[in-house]
Amino acid sequence: MRIILLGAPGAGKGTIAKMLTDYDRSVQISTGDILRGAVKAGTELGKKAQGYMERGELVPDSLIMDIMESRLQEPDCKKGFILDGFPRTIPQADALKKLLQKLNLKLDLVVNLDVPRPVILDRLTTRRTCSNSACQEIYNVKSKPPTAEGKCKKCGSPVVQRADETEEAITKRLETYNEKTAPLIQYYQQEGALKNVSSTSSDEIFTSIKAALKGK
Ligand code: ADP
């Protein structure tokens, strides 16, 4: 299947994407993960993206489309893909539409994870991430803590707070989301592809996405 996950930072896109890829063996494509990997590796892309990311601003559309144009043509995408954190702007959504036409691919579903703002704020300030870029397991100091030593339960690497998870950057990311990304909800609603899910339980969200896919 080919799915887009929409939702504010902290809405749970990454968690749901992982559940979906385990379920149908498609690949998760997270532009955030790709960019963080590039920053860590110190590549040209990483150098260009770092400042925007640390300030909680969006990376320019042209950089993102360069990444996605090649990523979607990699062989593992033949099994289907879950787009997590992309598209993030109307120009990205327009460019994606053209790219999918060119590759002769059709989307199955666009899911909007609609989570109340207080829940989002609480999650973002308590979220921690495994520092190993090949793992990136997500933790939460309240609901899913790492080991007592602050290590990842899966790979043993230190679990850290992301550089863009300071209060200032979080506020900026939520503003950016409202201004640039929230308009995509209406965009995909008009295309007739949107499924709105307003639960905060990942199991419930997963169940309703599976039900929506069965109706396809
Ligand atoms: P979150 O959804 O929690 O904000 P992500 O990991 O998806 O986190 O993204 C982290 C940062 O990477 C964003 O704040 C932004 O700077 C950059 N980024 C990720 N995806 C995109 C995208 N599609 N377009 C522009 N910038 C992006």
120 contacts 174 by C-beta, under 8 angstroms:
yes
123 touches ligand 1 (CB under 6 Å) = no
Would residue 88 show up in a list of annotated catalytic residues for this protein? yes
Task: Please determine, for residue 178, whether its predicted confidence score (pLDDT) is greater than 90.
Answer: yes
Q: What is the dihedral of CA 10, 18, 184, 96, to 10 degrees?
A: 140
The amino acid that residue 131 corresponds to is S
| Sheet (strand 127-130) strand order | 138-140, 127-130, 159-160
pTM of the model: 0.88
For 105-145, write each residue's pLDDT tens digit: 999 999 999 999 899 999 899 999 999 988 989 999 999 99
The pair of structure tokens assigned to 203 is 């199991």
165 touches ligand 1 (CB under 6 Å) = no
Please state the φ and ψ torsions of residue 165, each to the nearest 5 degrees.
-110, 25
Choose the catalytic residue: 2, 71, 144, 162: 162
164 touches ligand 1 (CB under 6 Å) = yes
Choose the catalytic residue: 88, 123, 128, 195: 88
Q: How many other C-beta atoms are found inside a 10 Å radius of the C-beta of residue 186?
A: 11
Q: How far is the CA of 86 from the centre of ligand 1 (A)?
A: 8
Would residue 173 show up in a list of annotated catalytic residues for this protein? yes
119 contacts 212 by C-beta, under 8 angstroms:
no
pLDDT, mean of residues 98-108: 96
What's the per-residue H, E or C state across 110-136? Answer: EEEECCCHHHHHHHHHHEEEECCCCCC
Task: Please determine, for residue 68, whether its predicted confidence score (pLDDT) is greater than 80.
Answer: yes
Q: What would you report as the CA-atom Rg of the chain, rounded to the nearest whole angstrom? A: 17
